[in-house]
Amino acid sequence: ELKVEQNPLFLSMQEGKNYTIYCNYSTTSDRLYWYRQDPGKSLESLFVLLSNGAVKQEGRLMASLDTKARLSTLHITAAVHDLSATYFCAVDDLMDSNYQLIWGAGTKLIIKP
């Protein structure tokens, strides 16, 4: 059974700093997704990573995937308050006949001025 772990689960940081959120998963997969959720809102897709070494960037966020290490990172550069949200990673379980999407617990990010 595929498990997905995110860390940290909670992160409070200052504006202007850099930080990284980690997403580890337990079995083979080469499909990983990052989502953002603002308080009281739904989930919004940020990045789709489909192969080993994939890197995607949007503004101050950059996501990467290392399928050999079963690890994805979401890097925040020079954080701004608007990036405060909860970030989820999810992985396609390729061993499941329905390719079930398995979710991490989420990382709540608070960026202070």
Stretch that binds other proteins, among 17-25, 49-57, 66-74, 76-84 (CB under 8 A): 49-57
Site for other proteins in 1-30 (CB under 8 A): 30
Q: Per rule CB under 8 A, is residue 109 in the interface with other proteins?
A: no
Establish how many alpha carbons lie within 13 A of residue 108's alpha carbon, considering only the half-sphere containing its beta carbon: 2
Among residues 83, 88, 109, 111, the one that binds other proteins under rule CB under 8 A: 88
Among residues 2, 23, 31, 61, the one that binds other proteins under rule CB under 8 A: 31
Q: Per rule CB under 8 A, is residue 45 in the interface with other proteins?
A: yes
Which string of DSSP letters, residue by residue, matches the chain? ---EEEE-SEEEEETT--EEEEEEESS--S-EEEEEE-TTS-EEEEEEE-STT-EEEETTEEEEEETTTTEEEEEE-S--GGG-EEEEEEEE-TTSTT--EEE---EEEEEE-
Q: Per rule CB under 8 A, is residue 99 in the interface with other proteins?
A: yes
Among residues 50, 69, 95, 110, the one that binds other proteins under rule CB under 8 A: 50
Among residues 74, 79, 92, 109, the one that binds other proteins under rule CB under 8 A: 92
